Amino acid sequence: MSAAFAAIVRRDLRLGLRRGAGSLQPLLFFVIALALFPLGVGPAAEVLERIGVGVIWVLALLAVMLSLDRLYQGDAEDGSLDLLGLGALPLELVALAKCAAHWLTSGFLLVLVSPLLAILMQLPPEALGPIALALLLGTPTLILIGSIGAALMIGARRGSALLALLVLPLYVPVLIFGVSAVEGEVMGLGGRAQFLILGAMLLAALALAPFATAAALRLALE
Amino acid sequence: MSDPLLSADGLACVRGGRLVFEGLSFALAPGEALLLRGPNGAGKSSLLRLLAGFLAPGAGALWWHGRPVLADAAEHRARLHLIGHSNAIKGALTVRENLRFAVAIAGAPATLLERALAGFELTALGDVPAAYLSAGQQRRLALARLLAASRPLWLLDEPDAGLDAANRAHLTRAVAAHRAAGGIAVIATHRDLGLAAPQVLELAA
């Protein structure tokens, strides 16, 4: 069973790698969109610093969401979903494996570049660690929640707009606690409680989202 | 005749509020094959998905060894291959990588992999990205999954689509060997595959 889990992760990573720039889209979107802000609102440090954390979080949210509609769509279109549905691995774990691979090629890369982008947004040095940590806890949650929407959208044409409507409201708690965790650390108020809540949301998503996703995948398999 | 391995009694299928078929019954002993015939839209693919456990029957029951199939769906899906219309192939992966993934997902050891490639004349294409294969070659890669992981129930939806005469013969031989080993094949096809003494189920539109 763990071999099948690893096989899915390895395959999706390999597919991402062979698609080249295509799989870097979330990261590129994140970086380029963020780079527009100093140009749009002006380079004044106090303005950027004020909005920096929020902007980084909102863009991370959008970057993750934009890449989600292909999470199961490709497998559904070419019949691989049947294969996964008949495999040794329960669909709940299939969903988890797909999310893990997807996080490695999207969320994880966002975490890695986030300190750099925090500097671009003129955030103080003490914000760099917290923002990476917050994204590390938050982006897997975003992907797990989005995975439910992506599985429901299988077969829907032009599903990405619908996916946004479905998923973005569910992202609000992650956004609120993600931003306030970092700002709490920066202002010296401490963000421990918010980080714990982010962690709790991740654990809840890990426990629940695979079941909801698998139910949606079963509908798609009918 | 020995006890039936797979049997259906009064199966009905409802899709999108429309009755596709009803009252289907059959019994297959080890080594038997069932050909599904009927015009487009008669429900051949739906019946295969129903037999695969993806679709719950609207009425009727399905047994494996006298035990209801839906009682343990996980056990059921581990004993069958479903080759549908789409080939479940990733163009960016090589032929061998595609097959290795299918075997890993099926939870089978990779020992039969090279034999399976040879069985459909794919050995020479093993390291070619599947996107460069012709439609017939892609179909053969999909069929090679049947040989790469050994499972007793084969559900094949138009398996010969795009195959040339030589490879249709490979398919016929593979099904014959599968039946000789006690397996069952349910095949939806319009053409004569030259199978020995199959049962035939006519589905009306």
Three-state SS for A182? Answer: helix
Report the alpha-carbon distance of residue A99 to residue A28 in Å, rounded: 20
Question: How wide is the angle at C-alpha B188 spanned by C-alphas B182 and B190, nearest 5°?
Answer: 125
- pLDDT tens by residue, chain B, 205 residues: 467 889 998 889 888 888 888 888 999 999 999 999 988 888 888 999 999 988 888 888 898 888 888 788 888 888 999 998 899 999 889 999 999 999 999 888 888 888 889 888 888 998 999 999 998 899 999 999 999 998 999 999 998 888 888 888 899 999 999 999 999 999 998 887 888 878 888 887 6
B106 to chain A: nearest residue by CA?
A87
Nearest to B54 among A6, A85, A88 (CB): A85
Q: Which of B54, B174, B104, B143 is nearest to A221 (CA)?
A: B54
- Please report the pLDDT score of residue B4 as a whole number: 84
Q: Is the pLDDT of residue A156 over 80?
A: no
Residue B22 lies in a domain: no
Question: Mind listing the pLDDT tens digit for each residue in A166-222?
Answer: 899 999 999 999 999 998 988 888 888 999 999 999 999 999 999 999 999 999 888
Question: Mind listing the pLDDT tens digit for each residue in A18-76?
Answer: 887 777 888 888 899 998 988 888 888 888 888 889 999 999 999 988 888 888 988 98
Residue B156 lies in a domain: yes
Interchain CB contact of B161 with A (< 8 Å):
no
Residue B6 lies in a domain: no
Report the alpha-carbon distance of residue A186 to residue A134 in Å, rounded: 13
Report the alpha-carbon distance of residue A71 to residue A2 in Å, rounded: 21
In the structure, what pLDDT confidence band is assigned to residue A137 with cuts at 50, 70 and 90?
Answer: very high
Average per-residue pLDDT in chain A? 89
Interchain CB contact of A14 with B (< 8 Å):
yes
Residue B135 lies in a domain: yes
Stretch (H or E) spanning B200: strand B199-202
Number of independent structural domains in chain B: 1
Task: Give this complex's ipTM.
Answer: 0.88
Report the alpha-carbon distance of residue B4 to residue B66 in Å, rounded: 8
In the structure, what pLDDT confidence band is assigned to residue A88 with cuts at 50, 70 and 90?
Answer: confident
User: Residue B191 is encoded by which pair of tokens?
Assistant: 């053409």
Report the alpha-carbon distance of residue A27 to residue A102 in Å, rounded: 12
Mean local confidence (pLDDT), A2-10: 90
Interchain CB contact of B86 with A (< 8 Å):
yes
Q: What percent of chain A has pLDDT over 70?
A: 99
Question: Mind listing the pLDDT tens digit for each residue in B49-96?
Answer: 999 988 888 888 898 888 888 788 888 888 999 998 899 999 889 999
- Please report the pLDDT score of residue A55 as a whole number: 92
CATH code where residue B167 lies? 3.40.50.300
Inter-chain residue contact A7 with B82, CB threshold 8 Å: no
Q: Whole domain around residue B141: which residue ranges?
A: 32-54+74-202
The count of residues in chain B is: 205
Residue B147 lies in a domain: yes
In the structure, what pLDDT confidence band is assigned to residue A122 with cuts at 50, 70 and 90?
Answer: confident
In the structure, what pLDDT confidence band is assigned to residue A120 with cuts at 50, 70 and 90?
Answer: confident
The minimum CA-CA distance between A207 and chain B, rounded to whole Å, is 21
**Domain boundaries in chain A?**
2-221
Residue B103 lies in a domain: yes
- Please report the pLDDT score of residue B161 as a whole number: 84
- Please report the pLDDT score of residue A41 as a whole number: 86
Interchain CB contact of A13 with B (< 8 Å):
no
Report the alpha-carbon distance of residue B145 to residue B81 in Å, rounded: 8
- Please report the pLDDT score of residue B18 as a whole number: 87
Residue B48 lies in a domain: yes
Residue B165 lies in a domain: yes
The minimum CA-CA distance between B95 and chain A, rounded to whole Å, is 13
